[in-house]
Amino acid sequence: MSQRQRYAIIGTGALGGLYGAMLARGGHEVHFLLRSDFDHVTKHGLKIESHLGDFELSSVNTHATVDSMPACDVTIVALKTTQNRLLEELLTSPTRDGGVVLVLQNGLDVEADSAAVVGADRVLGGTCFLCTNKVGPGHIRHIDYGRIVFGNYSGALSPAAVRIAEEMVTAGIDANATDDLLLTRWRKLMWNIPFNGLSVALDATTKQLVDDPHAVALIEKIIQEVHGAAAASGIEIPETMIDKTIDSTRTMIPYDSSMRIDYLNRRPMEIEAIFGNPLRAAKKVGAEMPRVEMLYQQLKFIEAMRCDTC
């Protein structure tokens, strides 16, 4: 195998910090862009508590701005989509000629902003199925799951995507390359839309939701709408996934959704990426999602009432 690739992590939060630390532990040169945690991580490194095994990285390549980052083979975008206006500045420097950008963000068509900076053919997109929280400066708690599924934003699966998947698996990450990124995006939306949305709209944990019969009936209808909009877009997801999405949440370790954490911290929520883009995509193919649209409108109202920095 050729020399290991160099990685850049744009956004060292719960997700970027975890995967970046696993890659670094696996022997890769990894460069982390940090904001609030820069001083702490530079001094003390990263601390990972994971259900797959705890570890610490004492020496970390930290960067307060992209100016000090070297060109990298793979730039992982792990910012919230609510910060995508920064991508123009953040992606140019670390992504060297021939390097690719792997967008690990929630939602649909979230790769478009990165593609506008580096070109669609250099962009990969991925969805992460994991429960992870940042619990302190440079301190990440990985509670459950861990799978990444990613593929090319445009066109068929490239050798670059396959190589990244191989390196990630070697580093202990449950990574999978797919030739159908849209399928995995819609599959993830079947969870994100009802559970992120209702956990905020009803101010509840996912456990409280799956324990209530009226909430479960609503969740089922919402997932059916998402499933139907995917089908109208030519994405065939087995119907058994509707029940499976609810059942797997019943057995999930109780967990606050990322959107609820943003809501509780009065931060902007990823409403456009997770709700607005799928609604617009569904509309284009003539699919109706009245409950998803209602949830979108409720979240926009809640954000306007509550967000301190919007």
Catalytic positions are: 188
By the rule CB under 8 A, 214 interacts with its own copies = yes
By the rule CB under 8 A, 286 interacts with its own copies = no
Query: For the stretch 30-41, what's the b/e string if a residue is b when 16 or more beta carbons lie within 10 angstroms of its beta carbon?
Result: bbbbbeebbebb
By the rule CB under 8 A, 1 interacts with its own copies = no
Site for its own copies in 174-213 (CB under 8 A): 201-202, 204, 208-209, 212
By the rule CB under 8 A, 215 interacts with its own copies = yes
Among residues 238, 305, 308, 309, the one that binds its own copies under rule CB under 8 A: 305
Q: Which is nearer to its own copies, 156 or 305 (CB)?
A: 305
CA distance 111 to 125: 6
Q: Which is nearer to its own copies, 86 or 217 (CB)?
A: 217
Contact criterion met (CB below 8 Å) for 37 and 106: no
CA distance 260 to 23: 28
CA distance 128 to 225: 22
Among residues 1, 2, 98, 304, the one that binds its own copies under rule CB under 8 A: 304
- Site of tokens 């195998």: 1
Q: Which is nearer to its own copies, 143 or 202 (CB)?
A: 202
95, two tokens: 């992504």
By the rule CB under 8 A, 294 interacts with its own copies = yes
Q: Which is nearer to its own copies, 173 or 274 (CB)?
A: 274
By the rule CB under 8 A, 252 interacts with its own copies = no
Among residues 162, 217, 253, 264, the one that binds its own copies under rule CB under 8 A: 217
Contact criterion met (CB below 8 Å) for 104 and 184: no
Residue 175, strand partner residues: 148
| Least distance (Å) between residue 216 CB and its own copies | 9
Among residues 52, 116, 120, 218, the one that binds its own copies under rule CB under 8 A: 218
By the rule CB under 8 A, 300 interacts with its own copies = yes
Residues near its own copies, by CB under 8 A: 201-202, 204, 208-209, 212, 214-215, 217-218, 221, 290-291, 293-294, 296-298, 300-302, 304-305
